[in-house]
């Protein structure tokens, strides 16, 4: 049984405390299908999130099978399924792939036969079997809601929370979803709570919970709803609620609650007697825990914790495989990456003519003619200025383009899929497995982009120096900017915010590097440690041939750092950025 005792959820609004959920007390037995209804802003979704543990209760207590969730911890990921208002599947994947990924992330299975059996069973339960090979993008609204349910049912949850899963659907699809939820509540004693704005199909529910300004106005059988509110039709319930304050409705309900709960008990007994309600769980639905599991995790001994979470490496492999699959199916992203990979190195080589010239050396024989000696010095300096400025500019151009690639790689990587990630994290996904899969995916892009830039420019361009060292610095600056933008993506709430901040960050790399114009010393000392472009440019310049290196130094005002300092600083940039990404990935950002 699920029981709420005087549960409150309080926020501060305009300096005062406001109860969005106000002393809610209800009892929901096993195998029960309950609708949570009420006017907009009455606290329906807030109550559902409080039950789920997304909103910590401010007062009161929640009990689940005699376990005090307020003191002994929230539901385990396998005990609860939460279906939010938004889609929790990726558009490029098929229905079968989406359910398979959800299963691999949430369920530890013995072999592929068990995995396939679980997937097939869930697809059959939700009626998705005939369209299992269809991509999510082309599904109708009702089919997407069914898919959301399927992805939650893979762990055999004992309580299923649904937030507005029927909103925006046509009447037929709405009834089909409600009927599906009703059927799901009849299996294995599962509790199904459904937030809905609609007052249609109420006869399919076991009970109706009516909220008004965060308070309970009614909780009883659907057939008693109109009688309780003294209306002829359910559509008149909401106007009736507005006729008096929520405190009066709450007081009225407290007087009549005992009799209505008695009606619910009689209806429940009738359903059990008629064989309409099956409370015993199916032992074949999920693997049981062995002695080793209980020794490692004593809390796993709860009766409902039959489904075990997969390990770190299993989740990592699933996420990485899914990310590559999504990447290759997104033709626009693949085309963009190929265009960048081809066009950016070509842009660099367009400026190679000025940098490919020879630098004349001073004659070993001293000139007797002063005019000839001055002319020789001018020629050498002219060559140094021409070649040195071109080489310096081309190296910085490479560095900035790779910084731009890094921004494009990761600015939206986490922020764009934040709702899905938060939902999967709520279902048991390890943040470290998620972040590690992102790092592995992005590392492949970084290495491919940087090495191709280095090879192309070295073969067709004018770079004259240590190729390996230059390649390493190109990889490091790309990795640094990719890591920094990944951290931004993890910390920002929206993809638009992350993209905008990342673009600004890349835009400031060139002026703050000092490669074009030297900054004032007091500003340079403050900004230099944070500018990845400077360290990659400086390290690459230090890798040039001595004559070319001297030519570059003759035309720049900014001091260069030794290569060890450049390696160290870029490495620190990467580590700090990944640390910030880890903080952002762990921090809850559920809307």
Q: Per-residue pLDDT tens for 344-395?
A: 888 888 776 665 555 545 444 455 555 655 554 555 555 555 656 777 778 8
Whether the pLDDT of residue 300 is over 70: the answer is no
Contact 549, 542 (CB under 8 A): yes
Please state whether 38 falls in left (phi above 0), alpha (psi between -120 and 50) or beta. left
Average confidence score pLDDT of the chain: 85
* Res. 216: pLDDT tops 50: yes
- Per mean pLDDT, which of 15-29, 306-320, 351-365, 563-577 is the most reliable? 563-577
DSSP-derived 3-state class of residue 397: helix
Q: What is the DSSP string of 140-186?
A: -HHHHHHHHHHHHHTT--SEEEEESTTTT--HHHHHHHHHHHHHHHT
* Predicted local distance difference test score (pLDDT) of residue 212: 93
523-559 burial: b if 16+ Cβ within 10 Å, else e:
ebeeebeebbbbbbbbbbbbbbeeebbebbbebbebe
d(CA 512, CA 228) in angstroms, rounded, equals 71
Closest CA to 280 of 192, 187, 191: 187
Residue 533 has pLDDT above 80, yes or no: yes
What is the tens place of the pLDDT at every residue in 225-237?
999 999 988 889 9
Share of the chain above pLDDT 90, in %: 52
Report how far Cα 109 is from the mean position of its chain's Cα atoms: 25
Q: What is the DSSP letter of 2?
A: E
Of 28-32, 229-233, 517-521, 534-538, the poorest mean pLDDT is in: 517-521
Higher per-residue confidence, 85 vs 210: 210
7 vs 78: which has the higher pLDDT:
7
Task: Give the pLDDT mean for 268-283.
Answer: 73
More confident residue, 338 or 461: 338
> What integer pLDDT is reported at residue 462 of this predicted model?
60
- Kindly report the pTM of this predicted structure: 0.86
* Residue with the larger pLDDT of the pair 380 and 414: 414
Least confident of 264-268, 496-500, 515-519, 534-538: 515-519
Handedness of CA 292, 295, 296, 302 (dihedral sign): positive
Name all contacts of 491-499 with Cβ < 8 Å and 24+ positions apart.
491/580, 491/583, 491/584, 491/587, 492/415, 493/415, 493/418, 493/589, 494/415, 494/418, 495/411, 495/412, 495/415, 495/416, 495/418, 497/415, 498/411, 498/412, 498/414, 498/415, 499/411, 499/412
For residue 394, with 0-12 CB atoms within 10 Å meaning exposed, 13-18 middle and 19 or more buried, which class applies? buried
Q: Which helix (H) or strand (E) holds 67?
A: strand 67-68
User: What crossing angle do the helices spanning 331-349 and 431-460 adopt, rounded to 10°?
Assistant: 40
Q: Is the pLDDT of residue 291 over 70?
A: no
Residue 210, pLDDT above cutoff 90:
yes
pLDDT of 286 reads 45
* Whether pLDDT at 339 is above 90: yes
CB distance 398 to 390 below 8 Å: no
Segment among 195-204, 303-312, 388-397 with least mean pLDDT: 303-312
- Provide the pLDDT for residue 583: 96
Pick the range with the lowest mean pLDDT from 30-34, 113-117, 261-265, 280-284: 280-284
Closest C-alpha among 267, 259, 203 to residue 234: 203
Are the CB atoms for 204 and 33 separated by under 8 Å? yes
Rounded CA-CA distance 533/514 in Å is 9
Reference 2, options 75, 64, 47, 60; nearest CA is: 64
User: What is the pLDDT at residue 378?
Assistant: 57
Q: How far apart are CA 468 and CA 446, in angstroms?
A: 16
Q: Which of 571, 564, 364 lies closest to 469, judged by CA?
A: 564
Phi, psi of 67 (to 5 degrees): -100, 125
State yes or no: pLDDT of 431 exceeds 50. Answer: yes
**What local confidence, expressed as pLDDT, does residue 421 receive?**
95
What pLDDT does 301 receive? Answer: 42
% of residues, the chain, pLDDT over 70: 85
The full set of domains in the chain, from first to last, is: 30-47+157-301 (3.40.50), 327-359+367-586 (no CATH)
Tell me phi and psi for residue 420, to 5 degrees.
Answer: -65, -40
Tokens (6 digits) for 411:
């600015």
- What is the per-residue DSSP string for 234-295? GGGHHHHHTTS-HHHHHHHHHHHHHHHHHHHHHHHHHHHHTT----S--TTSSPPP-HHHHH
State phi, psi for 362 to the nearest 5 degrees.
Answer: -70, 145
The answer, yes or no, to whether residue 564 has pLDDT greater than 80, is yes
Sorted by sequence, the CB contacts under 8 Å of residue 147 that are 6+ apart come out as: 87, 89, 95, 98, 99, 126, 128, 136, 139
Give the whole-angstrom CA distance, residue 452 versus residue 533: 19
pLDDT of residue 543: 79
> What does the pLDDT read at residue 292?
47
């Amino acid at each position: 049984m699920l029981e709420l005792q005087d549960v409150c959820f309080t926020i501060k609004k305009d300096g005062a405390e406001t109860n969005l959920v106000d002393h809610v007390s209800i009892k929901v037995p096993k195998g029960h299908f309950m609708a949570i209804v009420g006017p907009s802003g009455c606290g329906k979704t807030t109550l559902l999130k409080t039950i789920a543990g997304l909103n910590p209760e401010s007062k009161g207590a929640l009990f689940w099978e005699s376990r005090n969730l307020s003191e002994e911890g929230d539901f385990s990921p396998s005990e609860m399924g939460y279906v939010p208002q938004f889609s929790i599947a990726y558009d490029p994947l098929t229905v079968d792939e989406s359910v398979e990924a959800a299963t691999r992330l949430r369920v530890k299975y013995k072999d592929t036969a068990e995995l396939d059996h679980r997937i097939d069973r869930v697809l059959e339960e939700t009626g998705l079997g005939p369209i299992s090979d269809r991509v999510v993008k082309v599904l109708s609204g009702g089919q997407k809601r069914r898919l959301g349910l399927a992805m939650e049912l893979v762990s055999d949850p004992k309580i299923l929370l649904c937030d507005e899963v029927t909103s925006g659907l046509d009447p037929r699809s709405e009834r089909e979803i409600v009927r599906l939820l009703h059927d799901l509540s009849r299996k294995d004693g599962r509790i199904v709570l459904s937030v809905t704005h609609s007052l249609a199909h109420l006869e399919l529910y076991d009970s109706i919970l009516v909220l008004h300004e965060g308070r309970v106005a009614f909780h009883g059988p659907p057939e008693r709803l109109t009688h309780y509110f003294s209306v002829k039709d359910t559509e008149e319930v909401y106007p009736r609620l507005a006729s008096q304050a929520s405190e009066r409705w709450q007081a009225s309900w407290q007087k009549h609650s005992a009799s209505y709960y008695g009606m619910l008990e009689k209806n429940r007994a009738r359903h059990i007697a008629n064989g309409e309600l099956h409370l015993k769980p199916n032992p074949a639905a999920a693997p049981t825990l062995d002695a080793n599991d209980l020794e490692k995790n004593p809390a796993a001994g709860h009766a409902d914790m039959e489904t075990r979470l997969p390990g770190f490496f299993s989740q990592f492999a699933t996420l990485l495989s899914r990310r590559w699959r999504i990447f290759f199916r997104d033709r626009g992203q693949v085309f963009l990456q190929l265009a960048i990979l081809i066009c950016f190195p070509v842009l660099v080589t367009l400026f190679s003519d000025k940098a490919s010239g020879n630098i004349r050396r001073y004659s070993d024989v001293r000139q007797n003619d002063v005019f000839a000696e001055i002319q020789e010095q001018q020629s050498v300096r002219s060559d140094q200025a021409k070649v040195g400025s071109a080489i310096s500019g081309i190296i910085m151009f490479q560095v900035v383009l790779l910084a731009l690639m890094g921004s494009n790689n990761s600015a939206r990587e986490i922020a764009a899929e934040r709702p899905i990630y938060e939902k999967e994290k709520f279902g048991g996904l390890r943040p470290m497995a998620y972040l590690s899969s992102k790092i592995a995916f992005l590392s492949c892009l970084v290495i491919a982009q940087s090495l191709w830039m280095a090879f192309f420019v070295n073969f067709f361009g004018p770079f004259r120096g240590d190729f390996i060292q230059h390649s390493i610095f190109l990889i490091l600056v790309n990795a640094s900017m990719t890591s920094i933008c990944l951290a931004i993506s993890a910390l920002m709430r929206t993809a638009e915010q992350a993209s905008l901040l990342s673009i600004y960050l890349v835009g400031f790399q060139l002026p703050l590097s000092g490669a074009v114009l030297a900054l004032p010393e007091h500003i340079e000392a403050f900004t230099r440690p944070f500018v990845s472009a400077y360290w990659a440019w400086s390290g690459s310049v230090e890798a040039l041939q001595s004559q070319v290196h001297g030519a570059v130094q003759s035309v720049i005002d900014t001091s260069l750092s030794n290569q060890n300092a450049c390696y160290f600083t870029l490495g620190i940039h990467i580590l700090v950025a990944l640390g910030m990404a880890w903080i952002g990935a762990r921090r809850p950002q559920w809307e």
